[in-house]
Amino acid sequence: MKDNIPKSGFITDRNLILGLDLYQLTMGAAYYQYNLENSIEEKDDIAVFEYFVRRFPKNRNYLIFAGLEQLIFYLQKARFSEEIITYLRNKEIFQKIDSSFFDDYLPNFKFKIDVFSIKEGTFFFPNEPIIRVQGPIFHAQLVETFLLNVINFQIIIASKASRIKNISQNKTLLEFGTRRAHSPLAGIYAARASYIAGFDGTSNVIADFELGIRSVGTMAHSYVQKFEQEIESFKTYYDIYKENTVLLIDTYNIEKAAKKISIIGKDIKAVRIDSGDLINNSKKVRQILDKNGNNDILIVASSDLNEYKIKEILDNNAPIDAFGIGTELVTSKDDPTLSGVYKLIEYNKIPKIKISEEKIIIPGQKQVYRTYNNGMFIKDKISLKDEIPPENSTPLLIPIMKKGKLLYKIPKLSEVRDYCISNIEKLPKKYKKLNKIKFKEVEISDTLRLLLNSLIKEKKNE
């Protein structure tokens, strides 16, 4: 009997190299074929690409960089196995590619690129180069789709989470969105990105097992519904989990459920409210709990929360100790896409530009220099990488890899989180507002602007 197990469609170490669009492979094979026919060595076929974000998502005043560790993993681990090479060899589109591509080149392929990047957890702004990749054009081109997929998603979630963190008044923040994420992998990356931005835990168990992010959970309404009496569901749960017990109290009647808590045990950790008027319900529950001597029991709120709802809750002094945020966070529901792009900016030391449809690409290898005053952010300046830096400025792009060799010591995820929180403290309050502000704090150096204008003029006159 044939194996009837369905295909998973998951990305694994086995197929990691194929986490790309087909045109990366068709371009790569074409580069190889052209070089072979023209006796061009790979060392003479060097491209430089930069990743940047064209514009802010809705109402954002800054972005948080996240996803570098997954990019490094891809560059260190992705390889063409014999199985994958056979698959590619048999595709019709590659039939005119020289057999040496499949026999010699792909079996020995490893990424031999230089990578520069800002640190994970760093705030940044549109049009600033965040990642620079340099190396043989086949290698540098192949990175595009995986980089954009992983980096774009984690940036937009980390940035959304940071907005929530800014208005949370140090309340406990829990990422509860795996079931609403667009895939199991998106759920894990959302947990990671929100943790970097300052969240305290996640419902995602893989994120705990693989990444060390503390997983937390309560119970579902189904647990309460299973029992004839609500209080019986509370008692059985408490008998098992004691001081770690978190009870869901809005299955039937919130106020009656809160009154039953005193019968269960005073060392219950928390109760959760997942529906209705969270402001009024939390006040009623707090009053009932305190009246019955349960002053130490915490109140957790969930139910389609976002930064605006949380602000309203806190502005009304609702006695909520922790927030569980799901759908609105893991989908960045108010603006779920990011205009992050990966563009060629130099080939064989010649600056390259793209100016079609007003989508101008700033040419040349660049560096971002950040200036602070008394520990607070003042401005960024984008310059060509070899320009003299502005006085008292700090370069943001640092070396990560050299010809495929990892130079960067990957920090613990908790260290990235701590860095991100301290980095955001350097942002003036105006950036942390929920509404859009006018933005003028990114400059372009005179030398870079001169290069840009000269190339625009040159291409328009061709």
* pLDDT beyond 60 at 1: no
Structure tokens at 329: 């966070």
Q: Residue 75: in which H helix or E strand, if any?
A: helix 68-77
DSSP 279-338: HHHHHHHHHHHHHTT-TT-EEEE-SS--HHHHHHHHHTT----EEEE-HHHHTTTTS---
166, 247, 267 from 223: Cα distances, Å: 34, 10, 21
pLDDT at position 234? 97
Stronger pLDDT, 359 or 352, i.e. the higher one: 352
Distance, in Å, from the CA atom of 449 to the CA atom of 452, rounded to the nearest integer, reads: 5
- The neighbour count for residue 437, using CB atoms within 10 Å, is 12
Residue type, 295: N
Q: Which residues contact 200 (CB under 8 A, 6 or more apart)?
A: 172, 173, 174, 214, 322
In whole angstroms, give the CA distance from residue 449 to residue 443.
10
Rg, C-alpha atoms of the chain? 26
pLDDT tens digits for range 195-212: 999 999 999 999 999 999
* 169-204 per-position pLDDT tens digit: 999 999 999 999 999 999 999 999 999 999 999 999
The DSSP result for 10-31, as a single string, is ---TTTGGG-S-HHHHHHHHHH
Beta bridge partners of 367: 383
pLDDT of residue 399 exceeding 90, the answer is: yes
Q: What pLDDT score was predicted for residue 147?
A: 98
Q: Residue 383 above 70 pLDDT?
A: yes
Overall average pLDDT of the 68-86 stretch: 97
For the 166-330 domain, the top CATH level (class) is alpha beta
Categorize the per-residue pLDDT at 359 as very low, low, confident or very high, splitting at 50, 70 and 90: confident
Q: Which of 235, 317, 249, 309 is nearest to 280 (CA)?
A: 317
CATH of domain 16-156+338-460: 3.20.140.10
Provide φ and ψ at 153, rounded to 5°: -65, -50
What is the biggest distance separating any 2 CA atoms in the chain, rounded to whole angstroms?
Answer: 85
Distance CA 364, CA 390 (A): 18
The pLDDT value given to residue 148: 98
Instruction: Please list, in sequence order, all residues whose beta carbon lies within 8 angstroms of the beta carbon of residue 411, skipping any fewer than 6 positions away.
Output: 120, 419
Residue 229 scores a pLDDT above 90: yes
Cβ–Cβ < 8 Å for 159, 194: no
- What residue segments make up the domains of the chain, in order of their start? 16-156+338-460, 166-330
Spatial distance between the Cα atoms of 31 and 295, rounded to a whole number of angstroms: 69
Q: What is the pLDDT of residue 374?
A: 93
Q: What's this model's pTM, rounded to 2 decimal places? A: 0.95
Residues 6+ apart with CB under 8 A from 206: 184, 187, 188
